[in-house]
């Protein structure tokens, strides 16, 4: 099944390259491969390769040899931040485990491949419009199948390719009287976050449809996307939806900016002053069972799925303090239990807390403070670059940029409640690369000092 899916999507990618050009083909590969079940994979050089990486990797090879391929090679700060993240990955694993070719494959596959795919796919707003239909179809299909799974209790991906491995949450988990949909991902929160990152594309599609520049049914796609997020039953992506639109409103509604900032400050202040009330609300919202406890520093502490995020910080604090600049490496932080120094009093507790549901903590343990700084910088620069494009008076696609900034800002908040699995990490990296591609062009157009530099350094044809 895996081989057949890869061959089919690769063939369709080549057909798209022939009909619509290499940029659209890479975008087609990235968008449609999101429908591939993540649990189907095969190891190459000791690294797991799933449908997404295989198809997008093949698309990039095609891009390198296509006669119409153009890569605007002038790097920007976001490119350097991603290079730093890949470099820290290599340096950390080589320092701790020794040099191996597999580390290069893993670092490129985990961070570089999807970023590069986004970088070559979207080098202008016109490129984004070219791939918009592919993204809309994939996102709409994911959302619709999520709703079917939530209401009917049937995961069509499992029906076609076999059951997914259980990753913390049982495949028949319920919330609010409905099945929690996980679609082609391994966990409902992964699906909800994936759809959240796709929501700006659906909003942009709806705006295009209202201007008669797209099919009429696109007007309904944002509602469909939000419904798919609700079908996941995951609180973090659901709460992130208003955060997305809040950030977008800040950027696109200057007349409302002051009251919006005031509302945001009040919300943050109330959360900081009354954390117990917020936690109680989250417990009641999800209907979590209470009464379980775990040992933290020798004391019994209440333990729930919500409180797990706090207990992680308490238990892994000794290891975080000793992570240093390069952390403990990939090998030490893969699987369970993690091979990192925690207090001996926490060994028993870790049998109950099996996951580090905080991407920043896990990246710190894996790659140290340098890795955490590089990763955080990537996320911040995506938000900043999209925000600049959203507020530029003469720029096109400002609503699209504003919602992408909002989605990325919301993702950075979600990552305090979940680690960074490939299920949605691939889309985040693709978004980051697309941001760099479009912002590089934006700088050249709207900053006169760069216009002359662009004339002196024309786009280069991609080379293998």
> Pick from 233, 257, 280: which residue ends a domain?
233
User: Are residue 310 and residue 340 in the same domain, yes or no?
Assistant: yes
pLDDT band at 432 (very low <50, low <70, confident <90, very high): very high
pLDDT band at 350 (very low <50, low <70, confident <90, very high): low
User: Are residue 402 and residue 268 in the same domain, yes or no?
Assistant: yes
* Residue 315 falls inside a structural domain: yes
* Residue 85 falls inside a structural domain: no
Q: 216 or 335: whose pLDDT is higher?
A: 216
Q: Retrieve residue 256's tokens.
A: 């409302």
User: Are residue 246 and residue 361 in the same domain, yes or no?
Assistant: yes
User: Are residue 357 and residue 385 in the same domain, yes or no?
Assistant: yes
Check whether 179 has a pLDDT greater than 70.
yes
The pLDDT tens digits for 41-76 are 887 766 778 889 999 999 999 998 888 877 766 889
The pLDDT tens digits for 382-397 are 999 999 999 988 778 9
Per-residue 3-state assignment (H helix, E strand, C coil) for the chain: CHHHHHHHHHHHHHHHHHHHCHHHHHHHHHHHHHHCCCCCEEEECCEEEEHHHHHHHHHHHHHHHCCCCEECCCCCHHHHHHHHHHHHHHHHHHHHHCCCHHHHHHHHHHHHHHHHHHHHHCCCHHHHHHHHHHHHHHHHHHHHHHHHHHHHCCCHHHHHHCCCCCECECCCCEECCEECCCCCCCCHHHHHHHHHHHHHHHHHHHHHHHCCCCCHHHHHHHHHHHHHHHHCCCHHHHHHHHHHHHHHHHHHCHHHHHHHHHHHHHHHHHHHHCHHHHHHHHHHHHCCCCCCEEEECCEEEECCCCCHHHHHHHHCHHHHHCCCCCCCHHHHCCCCCCCCCCCHHHCCHHHCCCCCCCHHHHHHHHHHHHHHHHHHHHHHHHHHHHHHHHHCCCCCCHHHHHHHHHHHHHHHHHCCCCCCCHHHHHHHHHHHHHHHHHHHHHHHHHCHHHHHHHHHCCCEECCC
> Which residues lie across from 302 on neighbouring strands?
293
* Residue 96 falls inside a structural domain: no
User: Are residue 253 and residue 392 in the same domain, yes or no?
Assistant: yes
The pLDDT tens digits for 289-307 are 776 777 676 677 777 777 7
In this prediction the pTM is 0.90
User: Are residue 384 and residue 452 in the same domain, yes or no?
Assistant: no
User: Are residue 196 and residue 143 in the same domain, yes or no?
Assistant: yes
pLDDT computed for residue 297 by the predictor: 67
* Residue 197 falls inside a structural domain: yes
Check whether 443 has a pLDDT greater than 80.
no
The least confident of 45-49, 213-217, 363-367, 426-430 is 45-49
pLDDT band at 450 (very low <50, low <70, confident <90, very high): very low
* Residue 89 falls inside a structural domain: no
Q: 337 or 262: whose pLDDT is higher?
A: 262
User: Are residue 291 and residue 304 in the same domain, yes or no?
Assistant: yes
* Residue 284 falls inside a structural domain: yes
> Pick from 217, 233, 249: which residue ends a domain?
233
Domain containing residue 211 = 125-233
Q: Retrieve residue 427's tokens.
A: 């889309």
Check whether 83 has a pLDDT greater than 60.
yes
* pLDDT average, residue stretch 86-115: 93
* pLDDT average, residue stretch 406-420: 95
User: Are residue 374 and residue 249 in the same domain, yes or no?
Assistant: yes
pLDDT computed for residue 346 by the predictor: 58
User: Are residue 215 and residue 356 in the same domain, yes or no?
Assistant: no
Are the C-beta atoms of 404 and 199 separated by less than 8 Å? no
* Residue 389 falls inside a structural domain: yes
User: Are residue 404 and residue 258 in the same domain, yes or no?
Assistant: yes
> Pick from 207, 233, 259: which residue ends a domain?
233
User: Are residue 268 and residue 354 in the same domain, yes or no?
Assistant: yes
What is the tally of structural domains in the chain? Answer: 3
> Which residues lie across from 174 on neighbouring strands?
179
* Residue 426 falls inside a structural domain: no
pLDDT computed for residue 164 by the predictor: 85
Helix axes 221-231, 125-152, angle to 10 degrees: 50
Check whether 265 has a pLDDT greater than 70.
yes
């Amino acid at each position: 099944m895996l081989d057949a899916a890869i061959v089919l999507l690769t063939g369709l990618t080549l057909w798209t390259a022939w009909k619509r050009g290499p940029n659209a083909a890479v975008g087609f590969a990235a968008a449609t491969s999101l429908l591939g079940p993540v649990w189907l994979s095969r190891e190459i050089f000791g690294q797991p390769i799933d449908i997404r990486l295989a198809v997008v990797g093949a698309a990039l090879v095609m891009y390198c040899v296509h006669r119409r391929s153009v890569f605007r090679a002038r790097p920007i700060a976001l490119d350097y931040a991603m290079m730093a993240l890949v470099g820290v990955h290599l340096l950390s694993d080589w320092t701790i485990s020794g040099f191996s070719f597999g580390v290069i494959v893993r670092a490129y596959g985990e961070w570089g491949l999807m970023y590069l795919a986004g970088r070559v796919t979207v080098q202008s707003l016109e490129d984004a419009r070219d791939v918009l239909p592919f993204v809309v179809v994939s996102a709409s299909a994911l959302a619709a199948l999520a709703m079917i799974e939530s209401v009917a209790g049937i995961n069509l991906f499992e029906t076609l390719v076999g059951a997914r491995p259980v990753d913390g949450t049982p495949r028949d988990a319920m919330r609010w009287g409905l099945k929690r949909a996980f679609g082609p991902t391994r966990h409902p929160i992964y699906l909800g976050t994936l759809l959240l990152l796709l929501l700006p594309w659906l909003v942009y599609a709806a705006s295009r449809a209202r201007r008669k520049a797209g099919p009429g049914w696109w007007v309904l796609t944002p509602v469909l996307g939000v419904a798919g997020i609700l079908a996941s039953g995951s609180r973090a992506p659901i709460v992130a939806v208003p955060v997305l639109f809040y950030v977008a409103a800040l950027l696109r509604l200057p007349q409302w900016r002051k009251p919006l900032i005031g509302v945001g400050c009040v919300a943050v202040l109330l959360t900081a002053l009354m954390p117990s009330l917020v936690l109680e609300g989250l417990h009641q919202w999800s209907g979590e069972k209470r009464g379980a406890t775990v040992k933290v520093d020798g004391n019994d502490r209440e333990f729930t799925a919500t409180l797990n995020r706090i207990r992680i910080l308490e238990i892994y604090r000794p290891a975080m303090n000793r992570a240093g600049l390069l952390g403990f490496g990939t090998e030490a932080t893969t699987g369970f239990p993690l091979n990192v120094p925690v207090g001996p009093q926490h060994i028993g507790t870790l049998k109950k807390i099996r996951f580090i549901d905080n991407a920043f903590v896990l990246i710190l343990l894996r790659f140290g403070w340098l890795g955490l700084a590089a990763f955080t910088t990537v996320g911040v620069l995506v938000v900043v670059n999209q925000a600049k494009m959203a507020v530029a008076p003469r720029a096109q696609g400002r609503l699209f940029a504003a919602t992408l900034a909002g989605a990325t800002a919301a993702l950075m908040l979600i990552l305090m409640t979940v680690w960074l699995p490939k299920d949605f990490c691939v889309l985040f990296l693709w978004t980051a690369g697309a941001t760099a591609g479009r912002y590089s062009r934006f700088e050249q157009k709207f900053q006169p000092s760069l216009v002359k530099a662009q004339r002196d350094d024309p786009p280069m044809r991609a080379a293998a």
